Structure 1
Amino acid sequence: MDPSPVSQITSGDPPASGKESNPSRTLLVGSALLAVSATGAFLIIQGFELLQIELGFASFALTFLVGGGLATLWLAIFGLTYLWFRPVRVSYGIRWPTLRDAGWIVGGVTLSVIVAVLVEIVVIPFGDGGATTISSAAAVSNPLVIYTVFLIGNLVFIAPIEEFLYRGVIQGRLRESFGPVAAISITSIGFALGHIPSYWFGGSDLVSVSVGGALLGIGAGGFVLGAIYEWTESLLIVSIIHGILNSIGIGIALLALL
């Protein structure tokens, strides 16, 4: 673990150190956290889209920007609410950045990009069309504006909140019974599956090889982020890595439309 001081904030005292004696319960709780968070986000976006239709000013760009923003806010509220009732050790790692932190960030981004490229190489020969996300579909109308808003929101809102929920709360809860490797693996699978609604709203075929490959890449990236979180004990570092990776994807998508 990183020996430098970290800021650890929890909603109370977590269980005593060591693995919890009821792994079945922990797995059930972790699975429920993953399922409820993703389902809630989906229903919020769907509900906002239906509300627009009802009010007569349907805009898919608004569905993405506002509905997606509300869905992300839901993830934060859901995670904080769970912590309120059931404490989990969450390490925020708020400190002055060090050269070691910079090394983790550069290394994490580099490794994640390499993993994404390798997954792409494997999937391309079997590809059956592009996997379109909600952001890609929404940006068609005004790519510069939408992707600019998305970029800012990603850095200050989306990446930190997703890392707080997935790596901080859920991975932290699973770690209590299963240790870091299993906790990272389970959370990464849930992290990938939690992105299915993005492809659903984007109009992609959810059983296509392209979507499967995209989810595989997201899961692999989630594993990298989870491992770095365990080593550094810093949500700040993994949030920065996550934000940079998303920004790279947003930049590539914008260039493709200009």
Structure 2
Amino acid sequence: MRAPARLREDGPLRATLVAIGLAVFGIAATQFTTLPAFLLEPALQGTPTDASIEARTMLLILNFLGFVLAGGIYLSATDRGWSYVDLRMPTRRGWLYVAAGVVGSVVFFVAVSALVQLLSLPTAESQVMDFVGDDQTMVLVMILIVFFFNAPAEEFLFRNVIQKRLYSAFSRMQAVVAASAVFALVHFPVYTAYADSLGATAISLSVVFGGSIIFGYLYAKTDNLVVPTVAHAAFNAFQFGLLYVALEYDIEEAQPAPSHAIDVVLALC
């Protein structure tokens, strides 16, 4: 599909800066949307596990609604409107991409985990355990959150808004890489703060980048937001499922590193 002349004039530098600005705007928006949760449950600011499950759930839901708010404001301000959102039921081919995305992301996760274990590589600790604690009920709530709020909001902002915006200045695959780099960049301050070394930060960011490449590729091939969203949700649910099993059977080594987006939330709280 040929891009309109207006969009073709958009240079790579400007498009990249807009993409970074949108990501930062999305994070900033969460600081406002989550305020009601903090006002209702002050414990969320210190030790989240001391807060009620309802309060923790409310915080996460409001956080991801911040991503939607940021993307919606951008679409409105640029006259793109909600028709810009590629939301429709996937075709048979689309569902095949969903399945491939789920399998691919799980294989990637297992391969990286095995490599980290084999080479004893340093990684930044996931902050999700500070949020979930040993509460298995909260883990099950997290699975619902990733399906209905985390994956939809994150894919909307980083794929349908940011990646699609980059199409005006890059090829599709270049846009996938650029959007994934922006996504990893958002996580840099988080892992720098919580990692023991620069190497641990680099490894954790490479995992974030690789996962984003997979979901970005799904969107680029289908132009359907539902495809990467379902794959993303299923992958995160798989991770939290592993965490549930680890807590159920008291397997410390089996604790995964669930949703990197959750890590960002916890670092900002």
Residue 60 of structure 1 corresponds to which residue in structure 2?
48
AA matched with 2:104: L
**C-alpha contact 2:10 2:168 (8 A) present in aligned 1:** no
Does residue 231 of structure 2 align to residue 238 of structure 1? Answer: no
Residue 221 of structure 1 deviates from its aligned partner by 1.1
Q: Which moved more, 1:160-169 or 1:121-130?
A: 121-130
Q: Which moved more, 1:184-193 or 1:168-177?
A: 184-193
Residue 127 of structure 1 corresponds to which residue in structure 2?
121
- Taking the TM superposition and a 5 Å limit, the aligned residue runs for 1:64-213 are 64-88=56-80, 90-95=84-89, 97-124=90-117, 125-128=119-122, 131-133=125-127, 135-142=128-135, 144-195=136-187, 204-205=194-195, 207=197, 209-213=199-203
TM-score by length of structure 1 reads 0.78
Evaluate the alpha carbon distance shift between residue 20 and residue 120 of structure 1 in structure 2; reply closer, same or farther with a 3 A threshold. farther
Residue 8 of structure 1 corresponds to which residue in structure 2?
none
CA-based RMSD of the aligned residues comes to 3.2
Evaluate the alpha carbon distance shift between residue 206 and residue 225 of structure 1 in structure 2; reply closer, same or farther with a 3 A threshold. farther
Higher relative contact order (CA 8 A, sep 6+): 1
* Secondary structure at 2:169 match in 1: helix
Residue 266 of structure 2 corresponds to which residue in structure 1?
none
- Runs of at least 5 residues in structure 2 that lack an aligned partner in the other structure: 249-269
1:227 maps to which of 213, 217, 222:
217
TM-score by length of structure 2 reads 0.75
AA matched with 2:141: V
Residue 265 of structure 2 corresponds to which residue in structure 1?
none
Residue 204 of structure 2 corresponds to which residue in structure 1?
214
Evaluate the alpha carbon distance shift between residue 222 and residue 167 of structure 1 in structure 2; reply closer, same or farther with a 3 A threshold. same
Residue 28 of structure 1 corresponds to which residue in structure 2?
17
Q: What is the aligned residue count?
A: 240
Q: Supply the distance in 1 between the matched residues of 2:196 and 2:77 (Cα, whole angstroms).
A: 35
Residue 4 of structure 1 corresponds to which residue in structure 2?
none
AA matched with 1:31: I
